[in-house]
Amino acid sequence: MTLTSQVLISTDLKQTLTELEALREHEQIIEIYSDRFATKFLEGKENEICPPKVQRIAGEKASFTLSEVKKVIEKAYLASEEKTVIILIADQFSKEVQNALLKVIEEPPKNKIFIFLTESKSAILPTIKSRLPVSLLSGKREEEALGLDINHLSLALVYEFVQTHKRTDAKAMKPLLERISKEAIYGEGYNLDEQTLTVFSNIFIALDMGSPPQFVLNTLLLKLLARKKR
């Protein structure tokens, strides 16, 4: 892991951010994150002094919003001869947020480095992936069996799986949706176009907005079924 422009996908955002801070030599680090992540990351650290040349900026809302985008752009265009690493951290980044950041990512100001740190590769738009290298960091915990054969998906399996998870809450549903999306992306059984990848991103937004977890799960699986190679 290095302090270069990139997308980092991690199952442990707190640990990864701590490791990124430890890599700092002469660079300035500016961390901008959603309020939800700030609550998790700063828990128990309220009285700690921020490391030298590390600035932390928490958003006012649970998700990363266009207000945080404005802060990113403001920091990016501050003239400085010092190398500045701007780290954007959130569980998910919406399509609107990523599109708003696209220009500054494409044409970064002098001495500015951008790092996206998030949990799901499927939540990052292809336009961002085409401009920044993507690294998946291994989680420390072994994943449990998914209980669904993604490569041999059928309508009957979709119904059975949704019924199995009819009592799964939103918090437990999120990693499940990520597993399904990841296996579909890395597998060879689906014709995944940009529209489908956008659906992957939107399902997490829908979950955060309060959509019933079972409805979101069903939507994802039916979309995959429609894109299955024949």
Q: Residue 44: pLDDT band by 50, 70, 90 thresholds?
A: low
Nearest to 52 by CA among 31, 35, 29: 29
The verdict on 21 and 128 lying in the same domain is yes
155 with 125: CB under 8 angstroms?
no
Give the whole-angstrom CA distance, residue 230 versus residue 215. 26
pLDDT for 76 beyond 90: yes
122 with 197: CB under 8 angstroms?
yes
| Residues 216-226: tens digit of each pLDDT | 999 999 999 88
- Asked if residue 33 is part of any domain, the answer here is yes
- Asked if residue 145 is part of any domain, the answer here is no
Q: Which residues does 130 contact at the CB level (< 8 Å), separation at least 6? A: none
- Asked if residue 95 is part of any domain, the answer here is yes
- Asked if residue 115 is part of any domain, the answer here is yes
Q: What are the φ and ψ backbone dihedral angles of 62, each rounded to 5 degrees? A: -60, -40
Domain final residue pick, 92, 113, 136 = 136
User: Total structural domains in the chain?
Assistant: 2
Instruction: State the pTM of this model.
Output: 0.59
**CA angle 19–20–21, rounded 5-degree value:** 90
The verdict on 26 and 78 lying in the same domain is yes
Domain of residue 169, residue span: 150-226
| Residues 81-97: tens digit of each pLDDT | 889 999 999 888 888 99
Q: Residue 46: pLDDT band by 50, 70, 90 thresholds?
A: low
pLDDT for 68 beyond 60: yes
Domain final residue pick, 90, 105, 136 = 136
The verdict on 91 and 171 lying in the same domain is no
Tokens describing residue 181: 């999306």
128 versus 144: the higher-pLDDT residue is 128
Domain final residue pick, 107, 136, 165 = 136
The verdict on 130 and 36 lying in the same domain is yes
Work out the average pLDDT over 146-174: 87
101's enclosing H/E stretch is helix 95-106
29: CATH = 3.40.50
The verdict on 53 and 111 lying in the same domain is yes
The verdict on 125 and 202 lying in the same domain is no
- Asked if residue 142 is part of any domain, the answer here is no
